[in-house]
Amino acid sequence: MTDSVRYNGTARLLHWTIAVLIIVNLILGIGHDPLGEILPAMPIHKSIGLTVLALSLFRLVWRLTHTPPPLPVSVAGWEKGAAHAMHWLLYALMILLPLSGWIMSSAGTRPLQWFWLFDVPKFDVAKGDAIVGLSGGGHGLMGYAMIALLIGHIGAALRHHFLLKDDVLRRMLP
């Protein structure tokens, strides 16, 4: 496969780094109560969330300024549309999910830190604010939506690789 049909190295590095961080964070978010018995799950969850937010914003700028490789001509039009919709929904959730967590944490009394290295500024919000309630309610729902999108995204990539035997997955492999 030529480099002209692959994502560039920066896009691939961002994709796989963010993917691993999101999967770890979904596990920490869902399992924070039992995991909290053996490790500081919520501070790690918050730190990873902030990292995902920063990397996702960079990735979005990168994506908007660098044309991705075209999908194979064998991919049907409806599939191209579904792939683009899924990617943009993933981008939205990669930004909105950690942002909602940051808003919720800002309303709390504990300091918000990035891996115990430095304090992260909090938004000027309080527990009773509508945005805090919206963020709290939406955070869990967006987490489950992220899981559904990831299953669809991974499933589609595996379908292309093993059933259709095209280069869609290989375009993003390291």
Residue 5 has pLDDT above 90, yes or no: no
CATH topology of domain 9-172: Fumarate Reductase Cytochrome B subunit (1.20.950)
Lowest-pLDDT choice from 2-6, 98-102, 129-133: 2-6
DSSP 171: T
| Packed helices 9-30 and 41-65: angle between N→C axes, nearest 10 degrees | 150
- pLDDT (0 to 100) of residue 92: 98
DSSP letters of 136-158? HHHHHHHHHHHHHHHHHHHHHHH
What pTM does this model have?
A: 0.95
Task: Dump pLDDT digits (tens) for 71-120.
Answer: 999 999 999 999 999 999 999 999 999 999 999 999 999 999 999 999 99
**Nearest alpha-carbon partner for 125 in 139, 114, 109, 113:** 109
In one-letter notation, the amino acid at residue 23 is I
60 band by pLDDT with thresholds 50, 70 and 90: very high
What span, in angstroms and rounded, lies between the C-alpha atoms of 115 and 67? 34
How confident is the model over 29-54, as pLDDT tens digits? 999 999 989 999 999 999 999 999 99
Which sequence spans correspond to the domains of the chain? 9-172
